[in-house]
Amino acid sequence: MTTPQESYDQLMARCKDLAVLRAANGIVYWDMETMMPPAGLELRSEQLALMDRVAHQMQVDPEFPRLLKRTEGRGSKGLTPEQQRNVRLARKAYDEESKLPEELVAAMSKHQAISVGAWKRAKAARDYSAFMPELQKMIELKERAATILMRVKGTRTPYDALLDLYEPGMTAEAIDKVFAQMRRGLLKIMKSIEDAPRPNTAFLSRKVGIPAQRRVSAEAMRFVGYQTAGPEAWGRIDETEHPFTGGYYDDVRITTHYYPDRFVSNLFSVLHESGHALYERGLPREWMYQPIGTACSYGIHESQSRFVENMIGRSPEFIEHITPFLKRQAPKALAGVGAETLFKAVNAVGPSKVRVEADEVTYGLHIIIRFELERDIFEHKVTVEELPEAWNEKYARYLGVRVRNDSEGVMQDTHWAGGSFGYFPSYALGNIYGGMFLKKMTKDVPGWRRSVGDGDLGPVRQWLAENIHSKGNLYDPAELVRTVTGERVRVQPFLDYLSAKVERVYGT
């Protein structure tokens, strides 16, 4: 009979096979978004469905639970804390995956490709009706899965089961309380500057050519430390409709989108995705292929991307550093524009219709809108047909803006097309986590701003690597935050950070 350690080693060998297959699945999806010819969509949907079906079969193989049982209970006594965490994560994955029918797993995977393709066409045509049938089917599939997972996870609602996929242990009720605090704080900040003169932002819409923007992308990646060239390269950058990051350890890829009349959009997109990439690359090498060798949660992942994009990228120190380079790439667009003017422009606060273009203050309201709509969808309070009207009404009420068409409204994001219901709250939670991390990092590394101003992200990157990236999936998100900062999750540090920045921008 095998010993618990031998059973553990066999279990980890199976986890490695799953990790390798899912990494390959991610590259196939990346190719679909970047390189695949349009006619390949149907074939690609079959390929993705087959890969997910095979992964499901590997996960629910009868030997998997037998190995788990031999490494649990008394069998876990000789295991290290890291090994015990691996067993717990493997158990959670098995318990959930084994309850999902294979045909449902394959159907969700196949429809994801079809639905995203339909979304792209419908968004380009500004025709929501063309997207509705695929969105309806996606919701039905996810609700079927969520109803099964609700019983496995022990959540109160199907939507809570979906939230747990992205942020373990999080519920809609808990998010509602956190978001209520965040909303009050954001509205207070907005109120404090409603009579203040708005910074000059007109120059941000001046035309900048794509070749120049690509050079800006390269400089942003160099600053962050995201390597895309040379024999040691572990990344690459491509173009997509909606930027994203994908990959695993030594192969982590990012994408961006170039807008000739919104050149800073690309800069912050690349910083954002590079933040994701640093996290994936920074996971402990010795944990590769193990359950703990993955990100803690999507909220923690977003904390890393938005930390690099906003807390570093929109800081006065980074803007001071990058302005001379930007002026060389876009001399006409930035004629007469200094670093302070650019800093104020990229941090100007004002309601907008598009989430990815939103400032840091109003961004949280965009997320609250999506969270409330997702919750209403799975509580059957809003139908697919009613979504555009519900969306537009919330944007008018929360942000005071009028949505002109569904492509800048309900179809602006790819997440629902891809079935990622429950993901959106991760963005705002990431901001909140980031506020706490920034407070702790400033205490630990008081000279980080000077280093960034000198063009050196090294001290920041090292702090993030030691305190967050190196922890992998050793803790659930709330526990990781407490381990890093010594505090429970709180909104106030993020609000304090925003208030200080807004005060500098507006002089209030």
d(CA 374, CA 368): 10
Could you give the count of Cα atoms lying within 13 Å of 326 in the half-sphere of its Cβ? 24
Alpha helices (H) along 61-127: 63-70, 81-97, 102-125
Torsion angle of C-alpha atoms 151, 154, 156, 160, degrees rounded to 10:
-90
Check if 487 is active-site.
Answer: no
Write out the H or E segment, with its range, that includes residue 237.
Answer: strand 235-239
Helix (H, G, I), strand (E, B) or coil at 354: coil
Instruction: State the sign of the Cα–Cα–Cα–Cα dihedral 14, 103, 425, 205.
Output: positive
Cα torsion angle, 59, 60, 62, 64, sign: positive
Cα-based distances in Å from 147 to 96, 160, 161, 194, 438: 12, 10, 8, 45, 38
- Which residues lie across from 246 on neighbouring strands? 253
Residues 167, 273, 309, 320: which is the catalytic one? Answer: 273
Candidates 473, 469, 426, 422; CA nearest to 88 is 473
- SS3 of 462-477: the string is HHHHHHCHHHCCCCCH
Active site residues per annotation? 273
